[in-house]
């Protein structure tokens, strides 16, 4: 009966088979653990209770820069900071489960590497501590990133500081600018790109008798509803904010005349689009008026004695007061012409004052400009032949009659023709043409005279201007003729201009619209 039954035999075989499988499992588990150890990317080492390295994985070799044989059997302090690693080891050898500490790893090749060291006790089957596992996590990348982070933090702080400084500077500049604007003796109004009032300085508040809160931030159209400032807005609207203009006169009250200028700030240069400058010219106007009045009164006062002299001299010359001797006659003749020049000057001065006071009254009547020119030329014939000038006059056949103030227009035309004759040397050429164009009549007076020096040309239509070259010639003149002539032409809605080359000649021309405005 010792013999096992067939059934029992079968059970034994099954048990053996199971054990075999279990053993195989254990072997493969060991292999697995070994593989895990070998291929772990984390540097791992196994250290004895007396801190001697017993085993290291390839990652550990790589990090430390030593190979297996140079590490195994060596004290762990060979590659870690002594005090720190001992302290860590003490803890785990006492049985503390996991400990971690940051320290330096002294690698063979490189500078010390910052690492985070983890340690865990290793126990035998009896649960006694037989050493410890040690893992070292390379912190150099993290440290580098940390440092970079710190650097960029510092850089950011620097930028912030710079920005703060720039902001302070800008603030100071702004304060300076606004102090200047605040204390300016001109009124300033600024518009932003949306055509809203962005700035009103105290002088502008004064001029328009309003507080800036009344219009600040308001649009152009809502500002125009504010009665006190409406005249200014009208000027701005008429001319357009987009176009620069300067010194447009505006009478705000009886005792307040201003000149308005608009400065356009190019796009892309800040949020302000326009600066309107309002300059108080009341005082200048008063002085100007007084000056004109003074000239006007003096000229009037001079007229009567001058014409009395004229008639006395005329009587003398005509022999009404007895025959004169040749020498006496010559003398009186000279005096007569000097007196004539004085009368001319006084008349011109009176015309200028009338223009300036806006009292140059125009009495329009139909005038044939060609005929008017012919009349003037006739009076100049003696001088023309005396100077032996090559003189020509041409006019279009069917010149329309224009509505002109005949006497004023005579003054203008006479001045231009007389100038051409006066400022052309003997034997020179003077050509006059009157032509009808589509919407206007044009008169051109061309001469081969002394011309006008280039650098003086821009002053030609200003009062009392006389070219340096004609002053040298010692020709008589007042420098008022062209100023008066241009004003007369403009008052009829026409334009007057010239071109000239010193030593070669000049061409003066003016146009008058067919529908003259007077
Ligand atoms: P006036 O002839 O009395 O000096 P105007 O006002 O008529 O004054 O002219 C101003 C100046 O312009 C003249 O003094 C002269 O220098 C210059 N001028 C005007 N017309 C001519 C011209 N045809 N040729 C050269 N210079 C001229």
Sign of CA dihedral 55, 57, 59, 62: positive
pLDDT at site 518 = 64
CA distance 398 to 391: 22
Q: Are 59 and 50 in contact (CB under 8 A)?
A: no
pLDDT at site 165 = 92
pLDDT at site 280 = 94
- Burial of 36: CB neighbours in 10 Å, binned 0-12, 13-18, 19+: exposed
Whole-number Å distance, alpha carbon 498 to ligand 1 midpoint, is: 11
Counting from 1 in the atom list of ligand 1, the atom nearest the Cα of 466 is 14
- Burial of 119: CB neighbours in 10 Å, binned 0-12, 13-18, 19+: buried
Whole-number Å distance, alpha carbon 479 to ligand 1 midpoint, is: 7
CA distance 385 to 403: 33
- The dihedrals phi and psi of 196, each to the nearest 5 degrees, come to -110, 150
Whole-number Å distance, alpha carbon 447 to ligand 1 midpoint, is: 12
Whole-number Å distance, alpha carbon 419 to ligand 1 midpoint, is: 6
* Per-residue pLDDT tens over the stretch 252-306: 988 899 999 999 999 888 888 999 999 999 999 899 889 888 988 999 899 999 9
Whole-number Å distance, alpha carbon 197 to ligand 1 midpoint, is: 48
Tokens standing for residue 151: 């650097």
Whole-number Å distance, alpha carbon 219 to ligand 1 midpoint, is: 50
Q: Are 272 and 282 in contact (CB under 8 A)?
A: no
Q: 431, 450, 477, 501: which to mutate for ligand 1, most atoms within 8 A of CB? A: 477
CA distance 493 to 516: 6
Q: 444, 453, 481: which to mutate for ligand 1, most atoms within 8 A of CB? A: 481
CA atoms within 13 A on the CB side of 62: 12
Q: 419, 430, 447, 506: which to mutate for ligand 1, most atoms within 8 A of CB? A: 419
Packing angle between helix 369-386 and helix 406-422, nearest 10 degrees? 30
Q: Are 373 and 393 in contact (CB under 8 A)?
A: yes
Strands 440-447 and 429-436: antiparallel
Q: Are 455 and 418 in contact (CB under 8 A)?
A: no
Whole-number Å distance, alpha carbon 462 to ligand 1 midpoint, is: 11
Question: Who lines ligand 1 at CB under 6 A?
Answer: 415, 419-420, 423, 447, 449-452, 460, 465-467, 470, 477-482, 506
Whole-number Å distance, alpha carbon 465 to ligand 1 midpoint, is: 8
Q: Are 56 and 72 in contact (CB under 8 A)?
A: yes
Give the three-class secondary structure for 219.
strand
Tokens standing for residue 147: 């440092």
Q: Residue with the nearest Cα to atom 13 of ligand 1?
A: 466
One digit per residue, pLDDT tens: the chain, 518 residues? 455 677 777 888 888 888 888 777 777 777 777 888 888 888 999 999 999 999 999 999 999 999 999 999 999 999 999 999 999 999 999 988 888 999 999 998 878 999 999 999 998 888 889 999 999 999 988 989 988 999 999 998 898 899 999 999 999 998 998 888 889 999 999 999 999 999 999 999 999 998 878 888 999 888 888 888 999 999 999 998 889 999 999 999 888 999 999 999 998 888 889 999 999 999 998 998 898 889 889 998 999 999 999 999 999 999 998 898 999 999 999 999 999 999 999 999 999 998 888 888 788 999 999 999 999 999 999 999 999 999 999 999 989 999 999 999 999 999 999 999 999 999 999 999 999 999 999 999 999 999 999 999 999 999 999 999 998 886 788 999 999 999 999 999 999 999 999 999 999 999 999 987 66
Q: 417, 467, 484, 489: which to mutate for ligand 1, most atoms within 8 A of CB? A: 467
CA distance 145 to 136: 19
Q: Residue with the nearest Cα to atom 23 of ligand 1?
A: 420
Adjacency order of strands within the sheet including 440-447: 390-395, 429-436, 440-447, 505-513, 495-501
pLDDT at site 40 = 84
């Amino acid at each position: 009966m010792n013999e096992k039954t067939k059934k029992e035999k079968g059970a034994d075989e099954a048990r053996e088979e199971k054990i075999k499988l279990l053993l195989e499992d254990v072997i493969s588990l060991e292999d697995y653990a070994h593989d895990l150890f070998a291929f772990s990317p984390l540097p791992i080492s196994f250290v004895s209770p007396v801190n001697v390295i017993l085993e290291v994985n390839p990652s550990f070799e790589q990090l430390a820069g030593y190979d297996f044989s140079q590490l195994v059997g060596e004290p762990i302090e060979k590659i870690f900071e002594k005090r720190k690693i001992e302290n860590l080891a003490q803890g785990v050898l006492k049985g503390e489960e996991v400990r971690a500490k940051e320290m330096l790893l002294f690698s063979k090749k490189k500078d010390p590497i910052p690492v985070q060291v983890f340690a865990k006790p290793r126990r035998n089957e009896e649960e006694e501590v037989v050493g410890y596992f040690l893992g070292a996590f390379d912190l150099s990348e993290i440290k580098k990133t940390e440092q970079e982070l710190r650097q960029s933090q510092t850089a950011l702080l620097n930028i912030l500081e710079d920005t703060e400084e720039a902001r302070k500077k800008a603030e100071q500049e702004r304060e300076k600018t606004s102090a200047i604007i605040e204390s300016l003796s001109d009124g300033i109004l600024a518009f932003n790109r949306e055509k809203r009032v962005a700035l009103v300085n105290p002088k502008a508040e004064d001029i328009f008798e309003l507080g800036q809160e009344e219009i600040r931030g308001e649009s152009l159209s809502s500002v125009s509803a504010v009665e006190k400032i409406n005249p200014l807005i009208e000027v701005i609207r008429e001319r357009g904010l987009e176009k620069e203009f300067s010194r447009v006169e505006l009478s705000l009250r009886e005792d307040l005349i201003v000149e308005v200028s608009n400065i356009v700030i190019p796009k892309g240069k800040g949020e302000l689009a326009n600066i309107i400058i309002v300059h108080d010219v009341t005082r200048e106007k008063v002085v100007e008026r007084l000056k004109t009045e003074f000239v006007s009164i003096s000229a009037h006062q001079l007229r009567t004695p001058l014409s009395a002299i004229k008639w006395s001299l005329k009587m003398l010359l005509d022999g009404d007061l007895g025959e004169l001797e040749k020498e006496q006659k010559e003398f009186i003749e000279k005096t007569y012409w000097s007196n004539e020049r004085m009368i001319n000057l006084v008349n011109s001065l009176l015309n200028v004052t009338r223009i300036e006071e806006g009292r140059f009254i125009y009495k329009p009547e139909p005038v044939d400009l060609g005929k008017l020119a012919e009349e003037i030329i006739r009076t100049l014939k003696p001088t023309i032949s005396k100077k032996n000038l090559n003189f020509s006059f041409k006019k279009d056949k069917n010149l329309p009659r224009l509505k002109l103030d005949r006497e004023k227009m005579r003054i203008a035309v006479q001045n231009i023709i007389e100038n051409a004759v006066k400022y052309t040397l003997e034997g020179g050429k003077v050509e006059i043409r009157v032509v009808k164009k589509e919407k206007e009549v044009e008169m051109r007076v061309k001469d081969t005279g002394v011309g006008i020096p280039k650098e003086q040309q821009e002053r030609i239509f200003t009062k009392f201007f006389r070219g340096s070259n004609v002053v040298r010639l010692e020709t008589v003149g007042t420098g008022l003729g062209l100023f008066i002539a241009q004003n007369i032409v403009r008052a009829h809605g026409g334009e007057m201009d010239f071109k000239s080359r010193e030593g070669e000649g000049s061409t003066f021309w003016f146009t008058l619209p067919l529908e003259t405005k007077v």
